Amino acid sequence: MSKMYYRELYCGTPVRYWMGLALLVAFIAIGLASALYMEHEGHWVTGMSNQIVWGLPHVFAIFLIVAASGALNVASIGSVFGGPMYKPMGRYSGLLALGLLAGGLSVLVLDLGRPDRLIVAMTNYNFKSIFAWNVILYSGFFAIVGVYLWTMMDRTVKKLYLPVGFFAFFWRIALTTGTGSIFGFIVAREAYDAAIMAPMFVIMSFSYGLAFFIITLIAAYLWSDRHIGDLRLAKLKNLLGVFVGAVLYFTLAYHLTNLYTTQHHGIERFILLDGGVYTQMFWIGQVLIGSVIPLFLIYSPAFDKSRWAIVAASALVLVGGFCQIYVIVIGGQAYPMSLFPGKEVLESGFYDGVVNTYVPTFYEGALGVGGIAVALTLVAIGARMFKVFPETLEDPNEA
């Protein structure tokens, strides 16, 4: 392969770049205004309640945090697994991972109700709580990926590239395991109490992160008039197909395991048959839009050379992934808790046995979209300031 030369990203004319950046900043401003309004008025202006305390902003936050871990997968393949086709894309992989994590955490912090209380979580740790462990994992991810990028961009520390790459790989696996364990450790909710949640979130991160990576990579090279070889895109596309199939497999294993256990028949019927919007989001959003159609676009010979099919498949994976997180987070809370499993008790009038309703509001959606805008803004500024993109990503036989 020919030697790679990196340079800053220039998306056409400066006017186009600044107009795009201004649009992202506008979305961020709307998100901040929504967060301030919800903090000032209280959560009564949202769709959340005493029963559903994690709303749409949490769905956005978890979706971005999970995708951030997976976005680093391309860099890991290049360093840890020695993939020469992926190695030139490692710098951008690290930058995108940092941007997505920052966007997700910004939504999470602003949805706490009291963002100023974050300092308590940063200075007081209860190590029996998975939330405390996640504070360490998120903070460490920024530091480790920052050093990882440094080893990729500075030749004087090139000898540290491989060991730091290994450390970053295992750290991001731990990060996503911690995020999935938040749900796996909540035994009070029948939809969450499952050990498979941790590995399922790991493979979900691979799928969502790679989908984000493919879309933004193609967009950046299209706008900057740079070339990407068909072989590189084919490898990324096929890898995405493997991850999408793996997510579908883990989803199947999760639901089959629950169906085998009588205690979980109620939540399974709710999600798979009687859950209304949650059932629709599962079958239409997650399974059909997020899995079946992308797999058809990826592996059908009719779309073998189509770059638009790759972009469409990646976009549908993200739509399906968002639906999957929504069903897990919101659907899991909507189903009523069984306070005394296997026992018959007198029910009170306080929502006992009642499916909880949740209708997201504009303010929650605006905050979530603002988090995506934060991620893309950081990536756009970082790509303009640092040399993360090769001048060309032509295939080896094209060099």
Rounded alpha-carbon distances, angstroms, from residue 306 to 214, 234, 240, 395? 14, 10, 15, 17
Domain membership flag for residue 1: no
What does the block give as tokens for 343? 């026992």
Question: Is 125's pLDDT higher than 80?
Answer: no
Greater confidence (301 vs 187) lies with: 301
What local confidence, expressed as pLDDT, does residue 230 receive? 87
Domain extent, residue 13, equals: 6-337+354-398
Tell me what the mean pLDDT of segment 178-194 comes to. Answer: 84
What confidence tier does 1 reach under pLDDT thresholds 50, 70, 90?
very low
For residues 290 and 296, is the Cβ–Cβ distance under 8 A?
no
> pTM, whole model, 2 decimals?
0.92
Percent of the chain, pLDDT > 90? 57
The count of structural domains within the chain is 1
Domain membership flag for residue 206: yes
What local confidence, expressed as pLDDT, does residue 70 receive? 94
| E strand map for 234-303 | none
Domain membership flag for residue 313: yes
pLDDT digits (tens, 9 = 90+) for 7-24: 777 665 677 788 889 999
Distance CA 194, CA 191 (A): 8
8-17, 36-45, 193-202, 260-269: the lowest-pLDDT one: 8-17
Distance CA 14, CA 186 (A): 50
7-11, 160-164, 190-194, 235-239: the lowest-pLDDT one: 7-11
Greater confidence (308 vs 194) lies with: 308
Tell me what the mean pLDDT of segment 32-41 comes to. Answer: 91
Question: Is 28's pLDDT higher than 80?
Answer: yes
What local confidence, expressed as pLDDT, does residue 13 receive? 62
Tell me what the mean pLDDT of segment 118-133 comes to. Answer: 76
Domain membership flag for residue 224: yes
Tell me what the mean pLDDT of segment 220-243 comes to. Answer: 89
Q: What is the CATH number of the domain that holds 145?
A: 1.20.1630.10
Among the listed residues 337, 334, 326, the one whose alpha carbon sits nearest the alpha carbon of residue 355: 334
Domain membership flag for residue 343: no
Greater confidence (22 vs 305) lies with: 22
Tell me what the mean pLDDT of segment 17-41 comes to. Answer: 92
Domain membership flag for residue 252: yes
Tell me what the mean pLDDT of segment 264-293 comes to. Answer: 94
For residues 60 and 367, is the Cβ–Cβ distance under 8 A?
yes
Domain membership flag for residue 348: no
| Residue type at 290 in one-letter notation | G
What confidence tier does 2 reach under pLDDT thresholds 50, 70, 90?
low
Among the listed residues 247, 236, 294, 307, the one whose alpha carbon sits nearest the alpha carbon of residue 92: 236
Domain membership flag for residue 185: yes
What confidence tier does 349 reach under pLDDT thresholds 50, 70, 90?
low
Angle at 247 between CA 258 and CA 361, to 5 degrees: 85
What local confidence, expressed as pLDDT, does residue 399 receive? 42
The mean predicted confidence, pLDDT, of the chain is 88
Tell me what the mean pLDDT of segment 94-116 comes to. Answer: 88
Tell me what the mean pLDDT of segment 55-61 comes to. Answer: 95
CA 281 to chain centroid: 17
20-24, 251-255, 337-341: the lowest-pLDDT one: 337-341
